[in-house]
Amino acid sequence: MTAILVSPLSHIAEMAVRHKAKEMISLLAENQNFHRPAVISADRHLTLGMNDITFAGTGKLIAPQESHVHQIIDFAQQWNTAAPLLIHCWMGVSRSPAAAMIASLTIFPDDDDEALAARLRKASPFATPNIRLVQIADDVLGRKGRFADAVKMLGRGQDADGSTPFILPLPPMFLGAEDPAGS
């Protein structure tokens, strides 16, 4: 079964190998160094430089931008759903859960926003998706506030130490589709 893997930076190699992921999105502070797992092809690795903030950046902080959301969407549209997509940030709590939800809605636009939020909460009691990424994506994906409202209703997750990766399942109604992305 394919899915979206969400991980803190410290577990990306383990998650990629264990689940046979071939594609990855990294959401980290600008110029943060890390090693891409060897099983992830360089041409199927998207790195986005942004801080985990929910306001316009000040000083050296870079807030999530509409261009970041477009890059997540473009990458997700090219995802070969035969293997899991690995998405990570520093702790796997805010930026990467938001990006995972954005990727899921990109591939499965008929998914119910509240059902997606419920799957996220069931998969991770710690996830608190970055609301700035969510609000931008809500607009870009034409969700008419449903996505942002569902995430707001989800609320803040439990305190986390950034050591718990999780799997965001795809919508049950689409799991029978061999390749919903058409790749």
Angle at 76 between CA 10 and CA 88, to 5 degrees: 10
pLDDT in tens, 49-108: 999 998 886 788 999 999 999 999 999 999 999 999 999 999 899 999 999 999 999 999
Cα dist from 163 to 21, 113, 153, whole Å: 19, 27, 25
Those residues with Cβ within 8 angstroms of residue 49's Cβ, 6 or more apart along the chain or in another chain: 28, 29, 30, 31, 32, 62
pTM of the predicted model as reported, rounded to 2 decimal places: 0.92
d(CA 102, CA 100): 5
Query: Domains plus CATH for the chain?
Result: 4-171 (3.90.190.10)
* Dihedral class, residue 168 (left if φ above 0, else alpha if ψ from -120 to 50, else beta): beta
Coil, helix or strand at residue 120: helix
Coil, helix or strand at residue 45: strand
pLDDT in tens, 104-160: 999 999 999 999 999 999 999 999 999 999 999 999 999 999 999 999 998 886 666
